[in-house]
Copies of this chain bind each other. A is one copy, B any other.
Amino acid sequence: MQDSAGTAMAASAGPCASIPAEHMDFIRQVLDRVGDKWSMLIVAALASGPMRYTDLQRQIPGISQRMLTHTLRQLTEDGLTSRTAYAEVPPRVEYALTPLGGGLYEIVKQLIGWAADHHHEIRANRS
């Protein structure tokens, strides 16, 4: 189990520093899912509560219908989000974070926080 605020990881070639070849596989899979263009944004948007399709579209500027549908389906297939369709008129579909997706959001939240804290340093280094 990895310490939450690891201090001296450089000292030991521990469990995470050198990634075992067996772990590489699913790490890559998770990274590919999480690291695609929209997944994290959707997870972050859903963290404030269930949302409808068009709400997500408004919440995430620039996302196309194709990518919203596609990413939502992938996330739902992986059990990170849930899809609930109400057989009404007009039709209504709500997407929500599952407990699993909520766990991922905890990581995403930190990544977003880190980005907010350090993006100016990164920008400065780029110039």
Inter-subunit contact A109/B6 (CB<8 Å): yes
This chain: how many copies in the complex? 2
From 1 to 48 in chain A, residues with beta carbon under 8 angstroms from any chain B beta carbon are: 1-2, 4-6, 8-10, 12-19, 21, 23-24, 26-32, 34-37, 40-41, 44-45, 47-48
- Whose C-beta in chain B lies nearest to the C-beta of A104? B114
Which listed residue (B2, B14, B27, B114) contacts A48, Cβ 8 A? Answer: B14
Stretch at the interface among A64-72, A83-91, A119-127: A119-127
Q: A110-B107, A114-B104 are in contact. Are A16 and B44 (CB under 8 A)?
A: yes
Interface range on chain A: under 10, 10 to 19, 20 to 34, or 35 or more? Answer: 35 or more
User: Roughly how many angstroms separate A67 CA and B62 CA in the complex, as a whole number?
Assistant: 28
Inter-subunit contact A18/B35 (CB<8 Å): no
Which listed residue (B13, B37, B103) contacts A114, Cβ 8 A? Answer: B103
Inter-subunit contact B110/A10 (CB<8 Å): no
Provide 8 A-B residue pairs closer than 8 Å at the C-beta atoms, listed in order of the A residue.
Answer: A1-B113, A5-B55, A9-B47, A9-B105, A13-B49, A79-B121, A100-B121, A111-B111
